Amino acid sequence: MQPRDPKGHFGPNPPSDPPVEPMRLPDDRPANIRARAFLRAYRMCGGRVQQAAKLAGIARREHYKWLKTSRAYKEAFERSHLVAGDVYADELLRRVMEGHLRPVFYQGQPILDADGNAVGIREYQDHLLLETVKVFKPEWRTKAKIEHTGENGGPIKVQDFRLDDLSDDELANLVALLKKAAGPEPTPQEPAP
C-alpha cells in the first residue's frame, strides 16, 4: 500500500471527499455536529472506526451508542460505510490499471537515476486484473459444478461397517494400524505432590 497523504487518502492523487447526503438530524446540537464529523472522518479513513473517532474527537462508544439509538444516524452510517468501501475499490482499480513501482536495490542501497530519483520496476497484479474482469464479464467467471455420485451416476452406496463382523486376525490388524497411526504412546508422568 502506498502511504497516505495528510488527509488519510491512498496514492498520489487523493480523491475528493465523495458527496454523501447529509444526515437529517433536527438541529445543530453538539452531538449531531460530532456525529457528522465522525461520519466524514469514517469516509476519509476508509472505514476504520477507531481512527475516525480519534479524528472526530469522540470516543468509539459514542458511535456505537448512536447506532443503537438513532435511526437517522444508522442510515447515514450505512451510506458512509458504502462510500468508505469505495476508497478500497478505487485503490484496487488503481493498482490493477497502474500497477505499483517496486524499488530496485543494489547492495542494500536504492538505485537512483541521473536526477536522484529512485529507480523501480513497475509490477502488475494479474490476479487482481482477472478478478476485476470477472465483475464486468460474467462469462469469465469460473463455473464449477462438483457432484459426487455412485456407480453409473446413481446414489453413493454406504456400507454399514460393524466391528463384530471382523475376524480376530482382521481386528488385531486394525488395532495395530490404529496404534501405528497414533504414534508412540506418551510416557506416564508422576502425579504432582
DSSP string, 40-73: HHHHHTTS-HHHHHHHHT--HHHHHHHHHH-HHH
22 and 56 share one domain? yes
Query: 22: closest CA among 31, 35, 9?
Result: 35
Give me the number of domains the chain comprises.
Answer: 2
What pLDDT, on the 0 to 100 scale, is given for residue 2?
Answer: 44
Assess contact for 91 and 99: CB atoms under 8 A: no
β-strand partners of 102:
121
69 and 129 share one domain? no
Q: Which of 82, 98, 114 is the last residue of a domain?
A: 98
What pLDDT, on the 0 to 100 scale, is given for residue 52?
Answer: 94
10 and 57 share one domain? yes
71 and 32 share one domain? yes
Asked if residue 126 is part of any domain, the answer here is yes
Asked if residue 178 is part of any domain, the answer here is no
* pLDDT exceeds cutoff 90 at 63: yes
92 and 118 share one domain? no
111 and 94 share one domain? no
Distance set, CA 174 to CA 171, 178, 183 (Å): 5, 6, 15
β-strand partners of 121:
102
Q: Which of 73, 98, 123 is the last residue of a domain?
A: 98
* pLDDT exceeds cutoff 60 at 3: no
76 and 132 share one domain? no
**Domain range spanning residue 46?**
1-98
What pLDDT, on the 0 to 100 scale, is given for residue 14?
Answer: 45
Give the pLDDT confidence of 83-141 residue by residue, as tens digits: 888 888 888 888 888 888 899 999 999 999 999 999 999 998 888 888 888 877 888 88
State how far Cα 53 lies from the chain centre.
21
Maximum alpha-carbon separation in the chain = 86
What's the mean per-residue pLDDT of the chain?
Answer: 80
Q: 121: which residues sit within 8 A by CB, 6+ positions away?
A: 101, 102, 104
State how far Cα 120 lies from the chain centre.
28
Q: Which of 98, 131, 165 is the last residue of a domain?
A: 98
Name the more confident of 65 and 17. Answer: 65
91 and 4 share one domain? yes
5 and 77 share one domain? yes
Asked if residue 23 is part of any domain, the answer here is yes
pLDDT confidence of 15, banded at 50, 70, 90? Answer: very low
* pLDDT exceeds cutoff 50 at 38: yes
75 and 44 share one domain? yes
134 and 47 share one domain? no
Assess contact for 18 and 86: CB atoms under 8 A: yes
Distance set, CA 101 to CA 11, 84, 126 (Å): 12, 25, 15
112 and 89 share one domain? no
Asked if residue 181 is part of any domain, the answer here is no
